[in-house]
Amino acid sequence: MKKFCFCAFRLRALLLPLGLLAVVTVALLFGGRAAKTASANLSGAMPLIILDAGHGGEDGGAVAADGTMEKDINLSITQKLDVLLQAQGFRTLLTRTDDTLHYDASASSMREKKVADLHYRLACTQQTPDCVLLSIHQNKFTDPQYDGAQMFYSPNHPQSEALAQCLQDTFVAELQPDNTRKIKQSGTEIFLLYQTKVPAVMAECGFLSNKAERDKLKTDAYQQKVAACIANGLLHYLGHKPIEDITNTENRT
């Protein structure tokens, strides 16, 4: 089947000098709520989990036929995942905790704003070498028949592929038994995965272009199951015990 990752922000020629600015910016912004999310949950030797809700603010990501915006579902799943991981004792850091795109006054065009935002997210992964990046997105395709989660992984760390496979396998085992999608290595088209040096996976949780899947993704109950799949995939990757009954997590948001 043809694979098409619609929502990943594709930039062939990125404005890398903005990276330094982003590092400075992220250091300043770490005084905000995202940084507090991490610092409030220090728990020892387990890796810091960077939770990246794709898009935000002016960048809605994929927009469904009914107006559903990817950015909103990304954030909702990410926040549920954050709760689950904190309950398992993980330190977490969210690249955004609200409907925000990170850029400063020097960014005027939409492209510049998106580039600055992606560099901010990348800088979040550069705060410590002992972290794992989970980037949460939704897919969209011209043909509405396609559905199902698919994981994309960074080419830069040998563990990224294993992490992606753990997440993909967990989706199949716990939520989507008919899902035959294969994990895929990111190229330059997915900036964050291509640039980060830490174990990193982008979870395309489902297709907003498929009405049945979209209708599920819009519900808290299904978002919770998706979050639990991602959490359990991570736990499996780290050799930890999974959350045994994901249906019991539906009221934990």
| Least distance (Å) between residue 55 CB and Zn ion | 6
Answer for the pair 62, 7: CB distance below 8 angstroms, yes or no: yes
DSSP track, 170-232: HHHHHT-TT-----EE--TTSHHHHH--S-EEEEEEEETTSHHHHHHHTSHHHHHHHHHHHHH
Among 19, 61, 148, 233, binds Zn ion (CB under 5 A): 61
Beta strands in the chain (DSSP E): 48-53, 92-94, 131-139, 150-153, 184-185, 200-207
Neighbours of 234 (CB within 10 A): 26
Choices 51-59, 103-111, 161-169, 223-231; region in contact with Zn ion by CB under 5 A: 51-59
List the one residue from 19, 34, 49, 54 that touches Zn ion (CB under 5 A).
54
Please tell me the count of residues contacting Zn ion according to CB under 5 A: 4
- The reply on whether position 206 binds Zn ion by CB under 5 A is no
Q: Which stretch binds Zn ion (CB under 5 A): 125-133, 136-144, 192-200, 234-242?
A: 136-144
Establish if 7 lies at the interface with Zn ion (CB under 5 A).
yes
Q: Is 69 in the site for Zn ion (CB under 5 A)?
A: no
Token pair belonging to 164: 């992606």
DSSP 8-state code for residue 47: P
Stretch that binds Zn ion, among 36-44, 132-140, 143-151, 240-248 (CB under 5 A): 132-140
- Binding interface with Zn ion (CB under 5 A): 7, 54, 61, 137
